[in-house]
Structure 1
Amino acid sequence: MHPGSSTYDVVVVGGGHNGLVSAAYLARAGLSVLVLERLGHTGGAAVSVEPFAGLPARLSRYSYLVSLMPEQLMAELDLDVRLASRTTASYTPWVRGDRSGGLLVERPEGEATRASFRDLTGGDEEYAAWRDFYAAVGRMAETVAPTLMQPLPLERDVRALVDDRTWREVVAEPLGHAITARFADDTVRGVVATDALIGTFASLDDPSLVQNRCFLYHLIGNGTGEWRVPIGGMGAVTDALARAATGAGAEILTGAGVSAIAPGADGVEVRFHDGTTERAVTGRRVLSGVAPWVLRILLGEGEDPETKPVGSQLKINFLLDRLPALRSGADPEVAFAGTLHLSEDYTQLERAYDAAAGGAIPDPMPGEVYCHSLTDPSILGDRAGSAHTLTYFGLHTPAGLFDGDPDAKDLAVRRAIASIDAVLAEPIADCLATDAEGRPCIEAKVPQDVERDLAMPGGHIFHGDLEWPWAPHRARLDTPAQQWGVQTDHASVLLCGSGARRGGAVSGLGGHNAAQAVLAEL
């Protein structure tokens, strides 16, 4: 689409899922909206692609599961999207001396989960501790989740609704304290800890509490924290959002790389290149879906290397001809249906952090595997039922490990595969499909790849460290932008992406909240 005007009520910079959410809400409210997207397609990190030549498999290349997008938001925008629950929450292979097995957590939890804990630990105490902890976190999630689509609550008001122990464990003290106090088993501790480390490079005892904030965001979505599979892949979510936006009258221009944002007395000028010429449009408000660090550059403030975010993840997509057998003897269709934890015992996670902090690629590499095709075979096209996708997400792989070392990425991939092979009865290589040119179907992305592909600084998938989803006691909440947690230093420029106060993950919250602030102002 091409903009038919040089002035708009709102110009949205970035056509990722949050930018599309903003555009849909604002256009439905009758405002004129233009979305400018640098790439040749919308969706940002939430896209589906066919990366393997000659094969129909549509993989969620970057973002891969949905946990935080409110059902209320999906209903308000009439999104034609279905999110499917996974029958297995997680499966964690373990070895204890000459004993081996797997810790199975069902969804919903049943007797097999209890028996699995008993088999690992020899009793019922650890499962009782598990249920007690997650019941407490669940109560907190039920309190926080409804506030995510409202103006920011004050910390003291949220604090008043959460019991003292849970607040201390999740908000006030490093999460590692609670995990080691509540749980005795190293594997159980690790399963709890991993939600604090997805895309976040930190020790579980980090005094900054960035790991606590990551943990909270992973467990509050819709009050349940359930991670669901979008039927049709992540691209189905953003395609539906794009339809919602354009259907309401928003204009979307792809191939439009923004070069400058200039606030003025009569609005905000946005300069961009459409592939042929340099152009400019003006908006009464500009919403930024790009990372705050990038926004400052577009505003003319220059690059600040000291504050550039640093991503920390290794993403590998596989296409398999068949699921591999596990050494534990577990049914692969059960074990791979949820999150398969690898080398993620608590002590392994902490050793991996120490190694990476010292500049070494962890060995063994902690990570987890997801098989979307067990929940959604449709992404395989005519290979449905005869092939499977696997997505590996590696932890404690900060961008610095790959700077200036051309072999580091290959080494990290080898160590990831070694962690996978360690729990299999056969090498994963024996199960790999090959593409039309005979190459193994494997695609890997480190933070530098994410930055190159998506312009996310440092390859940080959250655009920077996550913040608490409430306002500090002394926060200024004078303007709608401040009240919704989307303010910048410029009154007419708002954050609508993952860098907003309640951003991060595939949630649409940044987009929704920016739109609400604009509607309160215009």
Structure 2
Amino acid sequence: MTATYDSLGVVGLPAPISELAARSWDAVIVGGGHNGLTAAAYLAMAGKSVLVLEARERLGGACTLETPFADERFLVSPCAYLVGLLHPRVIEELDLERFGYRTFTADPNQWTPFEDGTSLFQWQDSSRTAAAVKEIAPNDVDGFMAYEALFERIRDRLRSGPRGDVWLGDSPDHAALEELFVDDVQAAEVIFGASIADVIDNHVKDERLKAALHGQGVIGTFAGPHDPGTAWVHAHHSLSMIGGWGFVEGGMGRVSFCIADSARESGAVIAAGAPVAEIIPGQGVRLVGGELINAKAVISNADPVQTSSLLMSASGTAFQSKVDSWAITSPVVKLNCALSQLPTFTASPNDPTIFKAQVEIARSIDLTQSACDAARAGIAQPEWCELYFQTPYDSSVAPPGMHTMSVFAQYVPYELAQGTWDTRREEIGDGVLDAIARFAPNIHECVIERQVLGPPDVEEKVGLTGGHIFQGEILPEQMWDQRFSARTGIDGVYLCGAATHPGGSVMGVNGRNAAMAVLADLK
């Protein structure tokens, strides 16, 4: 069996569709994103017959690898950049390291340049972070470290506290979470609705520190730092149990490809270029070509809106009502670049260490909030950005001496008040580079080629409604028992994507939870 990475996820059909349709399957997975592949792997390991149907020619969904530039030695994961929340059980139980999964922990984990020419490193070693804070804001060291400790407490209580790991299985409800944090008012406020701006203001006074910290409360979220619930967004991204965020050797899409190889070794059958037209509860799925594939269970890796569309009139009142109220519009523009050289940041022109960090581009909490408000009015205003440079850790993703840069930028609207994404895509891409150029003036000259993906582009390219990589907002009102369950309440139909508990990012546990639900129900 050829490793999925060797073909960059383009696996084709394992047999003619007519042969696949002639079989009856225990489970059909609709969509070959990383969670769908994870569900397939667990079901196959349990001895179930499993067929994965991916509409595109390439596996991985938002977590894949492509060669979008003229020089195909540049490897790009178009929508997913770092791994940090992948569940350790998924890594271990699917034996991903045996299939080539290796990571480089980002250390420093963040570097932020400021407009006054100073900058801040944040390290894996908290004592080094404290020393870095002391250099620019000595009166804020204790508050900064207390802020970090707050989110560490939340992680420890949720992932290894009295209830064990709350990511596994069904979500705790509001009352259970209140009980879990009854002795920690600060943590409870983060979980149930505080803004990231308020939490930061309660800990530090220096405006530069506020600029460095607030972006983690809005990343991937159509909300500004003053908006309620954004503190939870940071908490969600702080729940890593694998030592923090890091780069995957060979590119982020390799996570999906390793999971696919594990699934196939266990007996799962994976078909790419096989779009599903309809989910038929209690029976299976019908392909675009009209073929009926029978299955006891259908597990959809598609987002809830897409799943509802596939269910047609069979979606059911309760499920459809939740879909209709689901917030799923992204404010993110993705910019993936091939670089001739690394840019020069004026705050630290001769320090290569900065490129090993996630580089934060931010000026102030208020400017980020204003950009969010502008996007709500249909105006693209990419003010806050996070930059990722893989090549300082892993030169395999670019030609010798060259580099890649991926940018997660906010805020942009799905629908522009003036013009369209087709007419203004490159202009908005220029705006992202202009935001970076405030701190790295030569960034435009470093870019050989670029790929600009606005929310409609991600929707069309990956199939994610609203271009939302988390399949819906991860603000408190759409988390925990307010997120979708793996069980839809529709006969034989399940969800396994990021819209399910415990939320979005490359986690794998959503797929594991769905597989466990199916296995319990098929007994």
State the 1:295 CA deviation. Answer: 0.7
What is aligned with 1:388? Answer: 403
Counterpart CA distance in 1 for 2:392 and 2:226 is 36
Counterpart CA distance in 2 for 1:374 and 1:180 is 34
Counterpart CA distance in 2 for 1:44 and 1:165 is 37
Please give the per-residue CA displacement for 1:274-316, whole angstroms capped at 9, x wherever unaligned: xxx4211121111010010111111114998875721111111
Distance change (3 Å), C-alpha of 1:166 and 1:326 = same
State the 1:465 CA deviation. Answer: 1.8
What is aligned with 2:158? Answer: 144
Counterpart CA distance in 2 for 1:137 and 1:35 is 37
What is aligned with 1:87? Answer: 107
Counterpart CA distance in 1 for 2:373 and 2:364 is 14
Counterpart CA distance in 2 for 1:430 and 1:308 is 38
Tell me the TM-score normalised to structure 2 length: 0.87
SS at match of 1:336: helix
Contact 1:23 1:33 in 2 (8 A): yes
Contact 1:188 1:345 in 2 (8 A): no
Segments of 5+ residues of structure 1 without an aligned counterpart are 433-439, 476-481
Q: Which amino acid aligns with 2:155?
A: A
Counterpart CA distance in 1 for 2:504 and 2:406 is 20
Q: Which amino acid aligns with 2:436?
A: I
What is aligned with 2:219? Answer: 198
Equivalent of residue 232 in structure 1, options 240, 246, 250: 250
State the 1:423 CA deviation. Answer: 1.0
1:120-131 maps to which residues of 2 (within 5 A)?
Answer: 120-121=136-137, 123=138, 125-131=139-145
SS at match of 2:291: strand
1:348-427 maps to which residues of 2 (within 5 A)?
Answer: 348-362=367-381, 365-380=383-398, 383-384=399-400, 386-401=401-416, 404-405=419-420, 406-424=422-440, 426-427=441-442
Distance change (3 Å), C-alpha of 1:116 and 1:443 = same
Please give the per-residue CA displacement for 1:164-186, whole angstroms capped at 9, x wherever unaligned: 22212342433332122222122
What is aligned with 1:436? Answer: none
Please give the per-residue CA displacement for 1:60-112, whole angstroms capped at 9, x wherever unaligned: 1211111111112110011131121012111111134xxx211111222344x
Distance change (3 Å), C-alpha of 1:62 and 1:172 = closer
What is aligned with 1:135? Answer: 149
Please give the per-residue CA displacement for 1:2-42, whole angstroms capped at 9, x wherever unaligned: 32743111111001100000000000000111111100121
What is aligned with 1:437? Answer: none
SS at match of 1:148: coil
Contact 1:467 1:501 in 2 (8 A): no
State the 1:358 CA deviation. Answer: 2.7
What is aligned with 2:9? Answer: none
Count of residue pairs brought into register by the alignment: 486
Matched, 1:175 2:190: no
State the 1:515 CA deviation. Answer: 0.4
Contact 1:187 1:346 in 2 (8 A): no
Contact 1:485 1:513 in 2 (8 A): no
Contact 1:286 1:492 in 2 (8 A): yes
SS at match of 2:368: helix
What is aligned with 1:250? Answer: 268
Please give the per-residue CA displacement for 1:360-392, whole angstroms capped at 9, x wherever unaligned: 222x62211110111222222xx34x1111111
Counterpart CA distance in 1 for 2:220 and 2:365 is 17
Counterpart CA distance in 2 for 1:41 and 1:319 is 21
Distance change (3 Å), C-alpha of 1:206 and 1:308 = closer
Distance change (3 Å), C-alpha of 1:144 and 1:470 = farther
Matched, 1:513 2:521: no
Counterpart CA distance in 2 for 1:330 and 1:170 is 39
State the 1:318 CA deviation. Answer: 1.2
Task: Report which stretch shifted further, 330-339 or 445-454.
Answer: 330-339
1:118-517 maps to which residues of 2 (within 5 A)?
Answer: 118-121=134-137, 123=138, 125-145=139-159, 146-162=165-181, 163-207=184-228, 209=229, 211-222=230-241, 226-263=244-281, 267-273=282-288, 277-301=289-313, 309-362=328-381, 365-380=383-398, 383-384=399-400, 386-401=401-416, 404-405=419-420, 406-424=422-440, 426-432=441-447, 440-466=448-474, 471-472=480-481, 485-517=485-517
Equivalent of residue 103 in structure 1, options 110, 115, 120: 120
Counterpart CA distance in 1 for 2:192 and 2:212 is 19
Equivalent of residue 46 in structure 1, options 51, 63, 67: 63
Contact 1:326 1:332 in 2 (8 A): no
Q: Which amino acid aligns with 1:46?
A: C
1:109-120 maps to which residues of 2 (within 5 A)?
Answer: 109-111=126-128, 113-120=129-136
Contact 2:338 2:403 in 1 (8 A): yes
Equivalent of residue 90 in structure 2, options 73, 82, 99: 73
The RMSD of aligned alpha carbons is: 2.4
SS at match of 1:182: coil
Counterpart CA distance in 2 for 1:332 and 1:60 is 26
Distance change (3 Å), C-alpha of 1:503 and 1:329 = closer
Contact 2:496 2:514 in 1 (8 A): yes
Q: Which amino acid aligns with 1:221?
A: S
Q: Which amino acid aligns with 2:253?
A: G
Task: Report which stretch shifted further, 388-397 or 327-336.
Answer: 327-336
Identity %: 28
Segments of 5+ residues of structure 2 without an aligned counterpart are 1-13, 160-164
Distance change (3 Å), C-alpha of 1:103 and 1:471 = closer
Q: Which amino acid aligns with 1:514?
A: A
Tell me the TM-score normalised to structure 1 length: 0.87
Q: Which amino acid aligns with 1:131?
A: M
Contact 2:31 2:53 in 1 (8 A): yes
Counterpart CA distance in 2 for 1:34 and 1:512 is 16
Counterpart CA distance in 2 for 1:280 and 1:344 is 55
Please give the per-residue CA displacement for 1:308-348, whole angstroms capped at 9, x wherever unaligned: 72111111111212212221234442112111111342122
Counterpart CA distance in 2 for 1:227 and 1:375 is 13
Contact 2:167 2:501 in 1 (8 A): no
Contact 1:372 1:389 in 2 (8 A): yes
